[in-house]
Structure 1
Amino acid sequence: MKLRALTLENVRKFGGKLVAIDSIGDGITMICEANEFGKSTFFDAIYAVVFEKHTATGKSIQSLRPRAGGGVRIGLEVEIDGARYAIEKRFLAQKGASVTDTSRGTVIARDGEAEDWIARHIGASDGGPTGLLWVRQGVLGLEPANAKPAEKDRLAEARRDLLSSVAGEIEQVTGGRTMDRILKRCQEDLDALATGSRLSPRGAWKDAVDAAKALEAELEVLERQCAELSDALNERRATEAELRRLDEPEAKALRETDLAEAREVARAAESHAQKIASAQGELDLALMQHSEAERARDAFIEAVSEAQTASSALEDADRLNSERLRSLKQARDAESALKCALEEAEKATRALREEQRRAERAERIRRAREEVNRIGDLLRQAREHAATASECRARMAANPVTEQALADLEDAEKETARLRSRVAASSVRMHVDYVGDTRLCLAGAQIAGGDAIALKDGAEVEVPGIATLRFELPDATEDHDIETLLAEALAAQAELLARCEVGTLAEVRERARQRQADENAAKLAEQMLRSLAPSGVEALDQALADARETIKDVSDTPVRPAEQVASDLEAAETRDAELRGRLRAAAEAVADAREKAATSDAALAAARDRRKRAEAHAGAADAREARRSALSDAAQVAAAEAEGKARALALLKADAPDAATAAANLKRAEAAFENARKRREHLAERRADLSARIDTRAQEGVEERRDEVAERMRSLAARAERYAAEVAALVRLRDALEMARDGAREAYFEPVQEELRPLLRILHDDAGIDWETDSITPGALRRGGETEAFETLSGGTQEQIAILTRLAFARLFARRGQHLPIILDDALVYSDDDRIVKMFTALNRVALDQQIIVFSCRQLAFAGLGGDRPNIRMEDVA
């Protein structure tokens, strides 16, 4: 199935309007508009047509109704197996559903049958793509954020059925419970040295790693400062070289000479141009005189002809004026009749408008009651989260084990262990096994056979009849200091345990973990509280009180349905508009008749004046021939004078210099001179700024500090590597066990892994996904030799993996013969510039044989996605 067109009528912000998206193509279709344009409305409209019954009246359908009310109509054109069908649903008013075969123009299903046809052909009947392929705004995982357990189970079953249908009947893989217990024991041993699923360092290892990272960040800053110093020195040298070139005497003299010469040429061209202008004025005067002489001659000839025709024109104007006065009277009578009819119609329309206001007020009261319920629900949730945060903070206050206390105890444990080893190293133990009757003595006491005797420095063992053995141990002079230090360390450790109100280090660690869990829970509850009540619980209380005040003492006076009143009002307004149109036409007819009557009256007066003027201009009939001859002679004299002036002007123009070239050259010379001056000022300011920056960096000694930090960082990095080697064996054991367990799971998840693998490689060369067997969702991301739980990933990475997984499942649907579009509503909102380009590549790769529709408000960020961008047509509903 592929979407080809979408039509919305009277939906949300498009109340009273028809909006259509036509010609949706096969690959990527991009709907990229600013915020509040209505992109999510398009997404919700598609969802409503495919997954909501036309009889539904739930919250999601009610949200489609515009503020002005009325019914909602949504049309969707789809292509299935090469054939096109138009699906239309009407919600809330005049409810109905229909499916039309567009090739034949016939309706093939209505209402309930249409709903069955949609479920059968688009896939809603067996789980459908909602939440699996269609991504609503703000969703990061494969399931809607507010999905109930039953909905999550249904979506997981749909994914499981899809995998089974593609991979064959394979039993659900558990990985082996015995293997899980072994892995758990291995993980517990590993946690003693590292923490978390990422095997983050702990204790001294963590200290070394953190210190190395801090130094690395400091080194990066110093390296950048050194680079800035080098760049500033190079730029200052280039600036000074350019200043020297601008200040060379030869260059300055050349610019000044060029400007002076250009000004002189421009002045000469301007002087000659003034002479030409004077000659042109004389020629224009002569031509004007010639033209006036010819005009006078022609006017006299025309006046004689005009006098002959003016009399007949006067008779025609008088007859036309009488006819138009009769037409004006008829038009005024028709206008008066229409005014009376319009007054009656407007009176009825005003009554319907008053009834509509009462109906709209009833609708506002209904919405206010819904707002009371919504705010009350928000207030309950906000108070629950506030109580949770308070309880967690109280437990934290009662728990004395902080991160610092835990670190102090772990240091004390290491110190006592070190001192015990020193005490053991400062003494030696002797075992005696007798074979005869002779017995050894120590300090006058006989040593019993088989006992382990601790010998201190200077101890003497008597061998009767043979010798006395004296024992001298290395560093023996410090024995008393070590024992004292050990006693002090044990006392300090006991004091720290007492402060923490526990008896063992393991208990301290457990209470520290509890404190961290309480802190995380408190932060989460406080964050949820801020989300539910950004202005505080008191603001919600006030909003609830305001909403209740709105509906207080409201009577439930019955009114006609708003739709019925609107229909009657629409008919009345149509009648009003029709009468106004007819009245305007009648008024225009009156005005037209009045104008024509005035025109004919003016024409009559003009005809009288015309005859009078024509006779005055023509003069007496017996003198007209002599006057014609005199005017012809005057025109010939003026023509000869104009010809002489034209020849003089032509001679001046032949010797004229090119004024436009001279002006352009002057403009060029002035701009070059001014640009050189401004450039020198800019370079001087830049040199001063660079010198100040160079002096500052030189005084800070950034290069010496960089070398010192680099050496310290190398030392700490080496120490961190030694600590890392201590956990390598446990990591290798754990990885080997997980590899064995993962081998059993690969057969079941291989179909989706096969589709997902090339898409993941676009983002991470060595990445892989570990799947949750029960929910059939990504459980962890493997990359760079580490495994990270899905919920611990950044929001951007979670979003990217979720979208790539949807692309893979879309490919699996296609394998099964279900070609379903992927629809993304403001997705990739958490992706940085580099990752979003790679995601665009992944979308285009899948779009080669998969329809993808993307809604987004990020016009600049999504400019690189490509794809088709259809026109959105909007018009008022007739």
Structure 2
Amino acid sequence: MRLHRLVLTNYRGVAHREIEFPERGVVVVSGANEIGKSSMIEALDLLLESKDRSAKKDVKQVKPTHADVGAEVTAEISTGPYRFVYHKRFHKAPETGLTVLAPRREQLTGDEAHERVRAMLAETMDTGLWQAQRVLQAASTAAVDLSGCDALSRALDVAAGDTATLSGTEPILIERIDTEYARYFTPTGRPTGEWAAAVSALADADAEVTRCTELLAEVEERVQRHAELSEQLAGLTADQVAADARQRAAQGAGATITALREQLRAAELEATTAEATGAVAETARTERVRLRDELESRSAAVAALDPEIGEAVKAGAVAENASDAADLAAAKADRELAAAAERVETARRVVELLAARDEADRLADRLARIEVTERDLEQVLAQLAGIVVTEPALRRIEDAAAALDRAQASLAAISASLEFIAAADVELVIDGERTLLPTGQSWSTTVTDGTQVDLPGLLSVRVMPGDSARAASAKSAAAQDELADALAAAKAADLAEARGADQRRRELQGRRDQLTAALAALRGDDDVAALRARLAQLRGDHSDLAAEVTPEAARADRDAAEALRTQADTDCQSRRQAAMDAAARRTETATRVTLLKDKAATQRAELEAVSSRLATARGLVSDEDVTANAEAHREALRVVQQRVAALSEELGAAAPDAIDAELAAADAAAQELRTRHAETARELHEVQVELAVFGTQGRRGRLDAAQTAREHAAAEHDRIGQRARAVSLLRSTMNRHRDDTRRRYVEPFRAEIQRLGGYVFGADFEVDVDTDLKISARTLDGRTVPYESLSGGAKEQLGILTRLAGATLVAKEDSVPVVIDDALGFTDPDRLEKMGAVFDAVGAAGQVIVLTCSPDRYRSVKDAHRIDLSA
């Protein structure tokens, strides 16, 4: 397909526009935004796809809003052997007109014209390729899908060396297979339609047969269960009679054991009472013995405390005297330490005053050096201020001098030389000046601006330079003026003086930097005024210091004072510790005396209390009566314990555990049999009721009907399943062969993309292309990046390269225009330049239409035909 001419009238905001396109090559159509570039593609699609009376939304949207007229589109197109002019007017007074120019002239109107164009395009043009070969603004970075383009597939078959002859109906056959496959399966391979209905119907029939079978089996299971329960109930009745007899025998033996246990329990209670009473009597006897023993021990303790108290009083007096003496020694040591500390402080003050005097001397020297450095720096800065020559000025002078030398050398090389040799004495007038030339002498000059030589009364000679010499002379004069201006600006007579001034400036700058660094080092972070104030303060601090005092003597006196203070401090600490120890011993002895006295008073009070309690107890019961009462209770407890032992022996001989176990087992067995008998009877009654209900449901007939329906569903399932499996096998076989074919022609397609991409990305550019002819990854500089991870600019460039590769591969009769709508907006200037070479390489083989509002993006396309819509 080729687009030769496109005419829009009253289309959106376009009143009238007619554009003619060359048959091949790159056409760059440029214009401002909203001038109607994208509308050209839209108008062409509406012309080819929509009828003139269409009420679709995309047709309504193109109606102009400024006038009540219909939008008109006219295009001249060639496709295959046909060339025609096609016209439509939409909205108001719709009409369609077709004039076929070749291979034979035809004229049609209305729907007949519309259908004729559709037939010609279907016969000669791959509509999938026409839609794919567009780069639109909204999807310039989307991956290109050319897998459905039959024209490209045929071209790639040829490029891949496939010699099979195609009938042209292969895509239709695949579509028909896919349509038939869709009757039975979803795109994911699951049953659908009548095949899904057949599968579902068979599954439902199987489920119904299973359900009816289970219902009939339930009836049979209930009949069998009724017989089993009847048999179990008869057996349980016989077992219950025997269990009742066993239970009665066990209950009689258990009554005997219960009586023995009651007698034993009464004897054990009596023994417990006797044991408690005897324990009370024994406790009273033990308490009476304890009181007698405690009275004796406390009397002995009181007698032993009096000598110990006397010794403690004597030790306390000695400790008090020692503490007083230690306190006096510690106070003396404190006074000696204070005197030594005062002497140390005095010595340190002298050392600090000497240090301040030394610091003042150093600070005065530093301030003097700062003043000298500042004066030197001021002198250097004053000299620098008088030098006008700077590095840029010197470079200007040197460049001007060099330019003058080059101009003069060039002028000398191309200018003519004029020389006179006198054969006799002669007087010449050269440029108005008289010159006497003796015999044999010569005179010469270089002719730059023209020279006139007169021989008065005889001859006048004028020598003029050529154009190149005059130009060189003018250039030399300009260089001379530039040098003079540069020297004047630098206040220098010549280049040597300017260089000397620059050298002196450099030396002064170095000296300035040295002085600045020295001054910064002398000042440091300090302020000079603060340094002077510090100097005045230091001189005032040591003004009362004697001049004969030396630092060495002051430090020696300080060290001696500190040693004396250290010794005094050591003595003071030891004496303080001794005083603290003596005071602690005094406190300890006083505390011991107090504790012993308190202990003696406590012992006497407790002795009196014990004596009082013992006298009171003896007044109530004598010691002998307490002892006799305890012996009588021990004898009564022994008699009761003997009776408990006899009853325990009799109960053990009767085997109470075995009798208890037998009674429990007999009770449990009887209760279990009664429970099982009742449960079995209940279950038997429920089964009888269920069998009565089942007899009214006709479950056998329902199973027969379900089996018949299942046979019909199975037959229908087999019939439809054979067709579904056949079309599935056919589709998988066709897809396998189609995939094999695609794998063969992916390589020539990839090679063409890499060939065109070499113009933009270089020789190491590679791409991976899948069987759907989509770029899956790009390799550049040895690094492979998935397509989706590329930048927007790279995706846009690869999209254009893919479409251009398809355009170069398809056969001439199958080619369609490649339309690029305002693309390459993400592309940098370097790649824009290289993309121009790609367009030039492809343009010779097909038709490429570029719509853009930035024509500079495509200035590198050298062979482009350019159309400016704003012109």
TM-score between the two structures when normalised by the length of structure 2: 0.34
> What is the TM-score when the length of structure 1 is the normalising length?
0.33
Max radius of gyration: which structure? 2
